[in-house]
Structure 1
Amino acid sequence: MSDTELRQEADAVLAGLVGDHEGTARLRTDQWRAIEALVADKRRALVVQRTGWGKSAVYFVATALLRRRGSGPTVIVSPLLALMRNQVEAAARAGIHARTINSANQEDWGTIEAEVAAGEVDVLLVSPERLNNPDFRDQVLPKLTASTGLLVVDEAHCISDWGHDFRPDYRRLRTMLAELPHGVPVLATTATANARVTADVAEQLGTGGGTDGQQEPGAAAALVLRGSLDRESLSLNVLRLPDASHRLAWLGQHLTALPGSGIIYTLTVAAAEEVSAFLRQCGHKVASYTGKTENADREAAEADLLANRVKALVATSALGMGFDKPDLGFVVHLGSPSSPIAYYQQVGRAGRGVDHAEVLLLPGQEDEAIWRYFASLAFPPEDQVRRTLDVLAASDRPLSLPALEPRVELRRSRLEMMLKVLDVDGAVHRVKGGWTATNKPWKYDADRYAWVEQQRQAEQRAMRGYAETSDCRMEFLRRELDDEDAAPCGRCDNCAGARFTVEVEEVQVAAARGELRRPGIRVEPRKMWPTGMQSVGLDLKGRIPVQQQASAGRALGRLSDIGWGNRLRPLLSPQAGDGPLPDDVLQGAVTVLTEWAKGPGGWASGAADAMERPVGIVAIESLTRPQLVRSFAERIADIGRMPLLGAVTCVDEYGVAAGPRSNGAQRLRAVHEALTMPPELAESVAAVAGPVLLVDDFTETGWTLAVAARMLRQAGAKEVLPLVLAVQN
C-alpha cells in the first residue's frame, strides 16, 4: 500500500473517531508522522504535545490500521480511571473494542483476560499498578507482551524520575519495553515534559528488541515529535488576595461570572471539602473530587461536570490527568502547585474545544508549608532503605506490607513506593504473600536523589516566579517546559491587562471567615491495634477492647486546611517555640466544647441517651510544648469548672520528642513505652469515677490518645473524651 493510500485510510478512521459523518476530518502533520512511523515503519515514537492536540487520536488510528493488518491488541498503560473511561467511549466511536483492567473492576479481570486471549479486544487499557502485581506480572504480562501489536505509554513523563509526577509503577515499563518482540511499535505521549524528561523517556524508548535490553544494531532511534505548547484559548491570571477568607469569598462572589463550567483545584483534601461546602452554602452547584472520593461518587461527579449539571468540581490533583471535557471554561487554583510543569498540565484541562477559557491562580500563605510536607514523602534516606533490605534478608518467608511496616521506620504508602523502586532495581522481588530480598548488590544513588531534590527546589522557585512575574505568563510556562517557540501570548493579565478585580464585598468576606473559622473536627478513636506488634515486643493485636478505647473526640481544626490550619500551623510548628495558649485559639476550643456538649448525644443536649458530662480534665505531658499544653488544660478546667486531675507523663527514652514516628506501629511502640500513669493521677481518676476530658496539642496517628485513654480507662475512667487543637491530615 502506498503512503497516500495509508494516509487516506488513516483519515477515514479519524473521521469515525471524532464523529465526522462528512468525512472531512484530516490528521495533523505530526499526527500522521507518528502514525506512519508506528504502522509503516514499526518504530518507537515519543509525542510531546499540548493537552487537546489529539494524542489519543494517534494511538486509536494506529490501532485500527495495525489490527486490520493482523497485529495483536494495543496495550495502553494509563494512570487514571477518568482517562480510561473517556478513552473506552472514544474508541467505541471508531469501532474499536476497548477494555480496561484496573482497581475498580476486579470482578471482570478473568473475563477480560479471556477476551484478550481470544483476540476479541482491540485495546486493553491497564493501570500502571497492574504491572507490579505478582499474578499479572508473572502470568498475564508475559503472554500480553508476546502478543502485543502496539504498546502505548500514556502520560509518559511518569516513567522518568526527573518528571514532576514520577510513579514507581511506571518503572516496570522498562522491563516490558526490553522484552517486546522485535518490530513491535511503541508510542509514548505526554503534554508535560521539559527537555530533560523528554531526553530521558526517549532514551528508555530506544531500548528493547534485543535479549539484553539494548537497542539492536541498525535499529532506528525513537522518533521525537515535540510541538508548540501555546494554548491560544487560555487567558492566564494571578489574583493576590490578603488571606484565605478573601480568596474563598472571591470565589463565592465571582464564580458565576466565569465562563461555562470548570475545575477549582486545591492542594489538599481538607481544603477541597472546605471550599465545596462554602460554595454550596453560597448557592453554587459544585461537587468535591479527591483521592478519598469513592469511585462511584467520582464517576457521578465526572458525569455531572461533563453534562454541565455543576458549575465546578472542587478537586485535588486526583483529577490532574486524563479528564476530557473540550468545553471546560475555566480552571481556578486556590493555592499554588509546587511545579510550573504540573500547573501547566492542570490548566491544560480548560479551553480545548472553546475559543476562550479563563485560568486563575489564587496563591496562599499556606502553599509552601504544603509543598514541604509533600516533599518529605520523597525516596527515603539510605539507612532506612538498608534497614528494610536487612529485615527482608533475615526473614525466611515473604513479608507483607503490614508485617514489614512495624519493623522499619516508614509509613506504609512510602514503604510501598520504596519497595517498588527496589523491585525494578533488582534488590527485592514481589511475590505472593509479600516481598523478598534478592540479596543482589544494590547501590543507593545519593547523587541522583539529591539532584532530583534540587530540581524540585528549582521548580518551587519557578512557581514563585510565575506568580510574581510582570512578563507574559504563558511565555513563562512554555519556557519552563523548554518550548523553543515561547513568546508573549497577548492574552494573559500581564499582556492584556487584568480582567478580574480583587475587590470582594465585606459581607462575603465575613461569611467566608465565619466558615473557615468555624471550629470543630471529629477525631475518630483507634479501634484496632496495628498488625505485627509482636515483632517489636508488644503483645497487642486485634480489636482494642471497647472498655479500653477512647470515645470520639474533637479538634479545633486540621493543619492542612485553609481556615484554622493557617492559624495553627505557626503555633505548632517545630520552630514556634513554647508559650501559653493564645486567647483566640482558646476561644475556638471553647466553642468546640460548647457545640460538642449541645450537639447530638452531647452531655448538654438533653437527649435521653446523652453522654455524661466530663467530671475532670487530664493533660498529656508535652516535652516540646509543655507551657502550651499545660495552659490549655488549666484554662479549659477553669472555664468548664472541672478539676484538673493531672497529666499522663512522658519520658523521652524512646525519642518521642523528636516527632511522630513515620508509621502507626512504630509510633505505638514509642508512646507505649514513653507514656506513664503517675500513681496520684490514677487515684484521682478512680476517685471521680466518671468521664474525663483528655487534652493534648495535636494528633497525627492517634496512638498517643489511644494509649493514654487505655491507661485512664484501666484506672477507672468511665469514658475518655479527647480534645486537641489540631489533627495532622
Structure 2
Amino acid sequence: MTTSSTASTTTDIDAEALELLRALTGRDDAVFHDGQLEAIRALVADRRRALVVQRTGWGKSAVYFIATLLLRRRGGGPTLLVSPLLALMRDQVAAASRAGVRAVAVNSANAHEWSDVQQALAADEVDVLLVSPERLNNPRFRDEQLPVLVARLGMLVVDEAHCISDWGHDFRPDYRRLADLIRTLPTTVPVLATTATANERVVADVEEQLTAGPDDQVLTIRGSLARASLRLGVLTLPTSRDRLGWLLSHLDDLPGSGIIYTLTVSAADDTARLLREAGHAVRSYSGRIDNEEREALEGQLKRNELKALVATSALGMGFDKPDLGFVVHLGAPSSPVAYYQQIGRAGRATDNADVLLLPGTEDAEIWQYFATASMPSEARASAVLAELGDTPLSTPALEARVDVKRSPLELMLKVLDVDGAVSRVQGGWVSTGRPWVYDAERYGRIGEARVAEQQSMIAYERATTCRMQMLQLDLDDTAAAPCGRCDICAGAWYPSEIGGEAAASASTSLDRVGVEIEPRAQWPTGADRAGVPAKGKIVEGERVETGRALARLTDLGWGTTLRQVFAAGAEDAPLTKALLDGVVRVLKEWPWAERPVGVVSMPSSSRPQLVGSLAEAISTVGRLPLLGSLTPTRPSAGRGSRGGGNSVYRLADVWQAVEVGPELAAALGQVSGPVLLVDDLVDSRWTMTTAGRELRRAGASAVLPFSLGVVG
C-alpha cells in the first residue's frame, strides 16, 4: 500500500470513528480522549495487538465497540470479548446496544439462550460475543463452537487483562488459556487487551502473552491513572464498634448512593443488617447470593433506590454506575492495586466522589487467610495428578479421593489444566500424561510480591504524602503528582466524631449473639472410598437438630473475642465470665420445640478446660443434669483435627471417633427428651453430626448441638 493510500485509509477511519463516537455518546461535540483514536487505528488499519492501560472511565469500551463496527464494515467477522464477571457482561451488552452494536453473552446465567446465540452467530447477526474465560474450557464450546468462531474471528478483546497475570490482583487461571488461543490466531486478526489496574510487572507479563512470536510487537497505550473526581481519605478508628458507629452517624452525609466494601461475607451481612435496622436503605451483596438477586440489587443501586450496597469484592470489576457518589471500605483490601480497582467504581461521570478507608485491626489476619487459600501446594497437586488417568473423573468424584476442599480443588485443576498436566473433557478431568513440575520458585516470588503489596497498603493507610499519588506510584504511573484534594493534600474532609446514639446502636448490634448451626442431611458423595460405610440421606432418626453457636469467628462483634480464644498458640483456659454471659443469652433466645433434659460434652484434647467448663456452666445456669462426656475411641489426630480438608476426608477422620460409654449410656437411660451436645468450635459440622448420631442410636430422642464458635 502506498503512503498516500495509507494516509487516505487513516483519514477515512478517523472520520468514521468520530461519527460512531458521537452516535455512541449522543453528543455532536464529542471528541476522543488521548490514546483512543490511536488504539482504534492500530486495530482497524494495522490489525495490531494492543494493550490499553487507562483509568476507569477513560472509555476502553468505546475503543473496542467502535473498532468492531469499523472492522465489520470492512468485511470482518464478529469480535470475541472475554469478560470476567456477569455484572460486567450485563453492562457491556447494554452499552453495546446503545452504540448500535449487536452483542450477546454466553455464560452460566443464560444457558437457556445458547441455542439462539448459535443460530444468530451462524446467520452473521452478532457483532460481539461475550464469554467468560471459564467458557473457553467448556468441552463443548472449546471443541465444537470455538474453532468455528475463530475461523471467522474479526477481533479478540481481553477485558480486565490483569487477570491474565500471576502478578495481577485478581489472577484467574482460566485467563492463562488465552495465551494459547492468541498464538493460534492469524497475525491479521487484531487483539486488544484492556485494564485499569496494571503495574509495570503486570504490563510486561500481559505483553508477553499477547505476542504471536519473537518478532511480534505489542502496542501499549498507557495514560495517567489519576482520578481527579475522587477525594480520598483514611480514618483510623480503634474498634469495629467505632467504625460501624461512624457509618451510622454519617452515611446520610455521603453524596448520592455508593458502595460499602467489607472483607468478608459475614461482615457485609452484619453491617447491612445494622444499617437497615437504623432506617438506611442498604442491602448486602456477596458471592453467596444467586445471579438473579445480584442483578436485581445492582439495578436498585443504579436507580438510586438504595443508599448503598454493602458488598464483598464480588461487586467489583466492571460494575458501571457513572454517578456513583462514594465508596467506603470497612477494612482494607490486601493491595493498593486492588483498592484502586474498587474505588474506581466511583466518580466516573461526576466531578466529585468521596472515597474513605476505615481500616480494621483484623485486616492482616484476613489477608493472610486469603493469600494462603489461593496457593496450591505441591503435595496436594501431586495427589490430584496421582488419581487422574484416561478415565474422566468429575470434580465431586475426585474430591472423594483427595483431601482438598471443592473450591481450592477447582482452582488447582484449572492451574494444572493451564500447565498442560490435566484436561477437562466431557464427564470430568483426565491426565494428559505430560510431565509436570511444581514451580516452587514462581509461587515463592508470588508470595513475596503479595507480602510487599500488603506492606504498601499499610503505608497508604499511614501516608504523609498525597494518597492518590501513592496509588498511582504503586501502579507505576510516572505521571503521578499530588492531587490537591485528599486528606493529606487538603486536610481531613470527613468528620471524625461518632454520635452517642450511633455508638450505642453499634454496640448493641455487635453484642448480638446466636448463630444457627444447620444440621447435615446428606452424607458426602464417595465417602465409602475413604472407609465410611454411609451414603445418601442421613437417616431421620440419626440426625441432629438445628443447633446454636455464640458467634462466627468472622463476626465483627463477638468474633473478635472468639478469634483470641482460638488463636494459634492460645492457652486452654476455663470459660470467662464474659463468654458465659453471651452463652446464657443464646440459650435464653433459643426457640427450641422442647426444652433439653441434659447436657453432654464432646471430648477435647486441645481445649479440655474450655469445653469442660462450658458444659458445666450450661448445666448449672440451665439447671440441667450434666450427663457426661462422649468417649474417644482413638487419638484426635488426622485431617479433621487439622482442618482444611474436604468433606469426605473430614468425615472419615471423625467417623466412629467417639462412642457412648457405659456411664453416659446409663445417664441417658434416666432421662427422656432432647440433650444438648456441647463443643468449643464447629467447622465442617461432621463432628457434631457423627457424635449426635451415636447419641441418637443410644436412645436420645433429639440432639441439639451447641458451640462457642462457628468457622466461616
- Please give the range of the TM-score, normalised by the shorter of the 2 chains: over 0.9
* Match runs of 1:471-490 below 5 Å: 471-490=465-484
Matching residue of 2:280: 284
Query: In the superposition, relative to structure 1, how do residues 649 and 33 fare at CA in structure 2: closer, same or farther (>3 Å)?
Result: farther
SS at match of 1:318: coil
Distance 1:390 1:109 in 2: 36
Instruction: Give the Å deviation of 1:29.
Output: 2.7
Shift of 1:479: 0.9
Deviation of 1:558 (Å): 1.1
From the superposition, tell whether residues 695 and 408 of structure 1 become closer, same or farther in structure 2 (CA, over 3 Å).
same
2:15 to 8, 13, 34: 8
- Mapping 1:597-616, distance limit 5 Å: 599=591, 602=592, 611-616=593-598
**Equivalent position SS for 1:713:** helix
Q: How does 1:339-358 map to 2 (within 5 A)?
A: 339-358=335-354
What do residues 484-527 of structure 1 show as CA deviations (whole Å, max 9, x unaligned)? 11121111101100111221012211111111110011110000
Superposed counterparts of 1:203-282, under 5 Å? 203-207=208-212, 214-215=213-214, 217=215, 219=216, 221-282=217-278
Partner residue in 1 for 2:99: 94
**Contact preservation (8 Å) 1:366, 1:562:** no
1:338 counterpart residue number: 334
* Corresponding residue for residue 309 of structure 2: 313
Output the CA distance in 1 between the equivalents of 2:579 and 2:407: 33
What's 2:293 paired with?
A: 297
Q: Does 1:639 align with 2:621?
A: yes
Written as runs of structure 1 = structure 2, the 5 A alignment for 1:38-77 is 38-77=43-82
1:680 CA drift (Å): 2.1
Picking from 652, 669, 676, the partner of 1:686 is 669
User: SS of 1:522's equivalent?
Assistant: strand
Q: Name the CA distance, whole Å, in 2 between partners of 1:727 and 1:516.
A: 16
Is the CA contact (8 Å cut-off) linking 2:656 and 2:690 kept in structure 1?
no
Equivalences for residues 568-587 of structure 1 within 5 A? 568-587=562-581
Q: What secondary structure is seen at the aligned counterpart in 1 of 2:628?
A: strand
1:618 aligned residue: 600
How far apart, CA to CA, are the structure 2 residues paired with 1:617 and 1:47?
65
Query: Which residue identity is paired with 2:622?
Result: G
| 1:673 CA displacement | 4.6
Choose 286-295 or 634-643, whichever is displaced more.
286-295
1:170 maps onto 2:152 in alignment: no
Query: Partner residue of 1:629?
Result: 611
* Greater mean alpha carbon deviation, residues 326-335 or residues 502-511: 502-511
Deviations 1:88-126 (A, max 9, x none): 111111211100011110111111122112211001110
Q: Distance in 2 between matches of 1:105 and 1:150?
A: 24
1:132-143 to structure 2, matched below 5 A, reads: 132-143=137-148
How many angstroms apart in 2 are the aligned matches of 1:676 and 1:574?
Answer: 29
Q: Is the 8 A contact 1:131 1:137 kept in 2?
A: yes
| AA matched with 1:485 | A
* Matched residue SS, 2:571: coil
In structure 2, C-alpha distance between the alignment counterparts of 1:714 and 1:457, rounded to whole Å: 51
In the alignment, the residues of structure 1 paired with residue 117 and residue 363 of structure 2 have an alpha-carbon distance, to the nearest angstrom, of 43
Q: Which amino acid aligns with 1:634?
A: E
Match for residue 421 of structure 1? 415
Which of 700, 706, 710 in structure 2 is aligned with 1:723?
706
Runs of 4+ in 1 over 4 A off after TM superposition: none
Structure 2 match to 1:507? 501
2:528 is the alignment partner of 1:545: no
SS in 1 for 2:670: helix
Distance in 2 of aligned mates of 1:130 and 1:54: 26
| Per-residue deviation, 1:653 | 5.8
Q: Which amino acid aligns with 1:540?
A: A
Structure 2, gaps ≥5 residues long? 1-7
| Alpha-carbon contact 1:240-1:502 (below 8 Å) kept | no
* Separation in 2, partners of 1:328, 1:8: 33
Structure 2 CA distance for aligned equivalents of residues 2 and 253 of structure 1: 60
Q: SS at 1:345's partner residue?
A: helix
How far apart are residue 469 of structure 1 and its match?
1.4
Q: Deviations over 1:421-464 (max 9, x none)?
A: 11111111111111111121111100000110111111111111
* Mapped partners of 1:583, 1:202: distance in 2: 60
Structure 2: distance between partners of 1:414 and 1:224: 34
Task: Give me the whole-angstrom Cα distance separating, in 1, the residues matched to 2:100 and 2:38.
Answer: 23
Contact kept, 8 Å, 1:392 with 1:436, in 2: the verdict is yes
Cα distance in 2, alignment partners of residues 682 and 224 from structure 1: 74
Given that 2:515 and 2:551 are in contact with CA atoms closer than 8 Å, whether structure 1 keeps it comes out as: yes
SS where residue 259 of structure 2 aligns? strand
Amino acid at match of 1:683: A
Report which stretch shifted further, 234-243 or 685-694.
685-694
Instruction: Verify: 1:19 aligned to 2:26, yes or no.
Output: yes
- What is the SS of the residue equivalent to 2:310? strand
User: What SS does structure 2 have at the residue aligned with 1:684?
Assistant: helix
Deviations along 1:394-445, whole A, 9 cap, x unmatched? xx62111111112212111100111111111111111111111112111110
Say whether the 8 Å CA contact 2:605–2:636 is kept in structure 1: no
Write the letter of the residue equivalent to 1:644: L
| Cα pair distance change 1:46/1:59, threshold 3 Å | same
AA aligned opposite 2:9: S
Residue correspondences, number: 704
Q: 1:706 and 2:662 equivalent? A: no
Structure-2 residue corresponding to 1:608: none
1:559 pairs, out of 553, 556, 560, with 553
Could you tell me how far apart the structure 2 residues matched to 1:550 and 1:76 are? Answer: 49
CA contact (8 A) 1:525 1:549 kept: yes
Letter in 2 for 1:35: I
Q: Distance in 2 between matches of 1:123 and 1:152?
A: 10
How far apart, in 2, do the equivalents of 1:341 and 1:280 lie? 31
CA–CA separation in structure 2 for the residues paired with 1:38 and 1:502: 50
Q: Of 408, 411, 418, which aligns to 2:402? A: 408
Shift of 1:191: 0.5
Rounded to whole Å, the distance in 2 between the matches of 1:308 and 1:653 is 54
Please identify, of 58-67 and 429-438, the stretch whose mean Cα deviation from structure 2 is larger: 429-438
1: CA distance between counterparts of 2:440 and 2:344?
34
Secondary structure of 1:144's aligned partner: helix
Q: 2:200 aligns with which of 195, 198, 201?
A: 195
Aligned-partner SS, 2:43: helix
Native 8 Å contact 2:183 2:211 kept in 1 = no
Asked if the contact 1:624–1:657 (Cα under 8 Å) also holds between the matched residues in 2, the reply is no
- 2:359 maps to what in 1? 363
Q: Distance in 2 between matches of 1:197 and 1:661?
A: 31
Normalised by the length of structure 1, the TM-score is: 0.95
| CA 622–30 in structure 1, closer or farther in 2 if over 3 Å, else same | same
Question: Aligned-pair distance for 1:658?
Answer: 4.3
Say which SS state the counterpart of residue 655 (structure 2) adopts.
helix
Distance 1:496 1:475 in 2: 14
How far off is 1:700 after superposition? 1.3
Counterpart of 1:441, as a letter, is: P
Contact 2:640 2:650 in 1 (8 A): no
Alpha-carbon shift at residue 654 of structure 1 (Å) = 4.0
> Contact 1:472 / 1:492 at 8 angstroms: preserved in 2?
yes
CA distance in 1 between partners of 2:137 and 2:293 (Å)? 27
Q: 1:167 to 1:3 in 2, by over 3 A?
A: same
Query: Structure 2 vs 1, CA of residues 228 and 661 (structure 1 numbering), >3 Å: closer, same or farther?
Result: closer
Q: Secondary structure at the match of 1:198?
A: helix
State the secondary structure of the residue aligned to 2:318.
coil
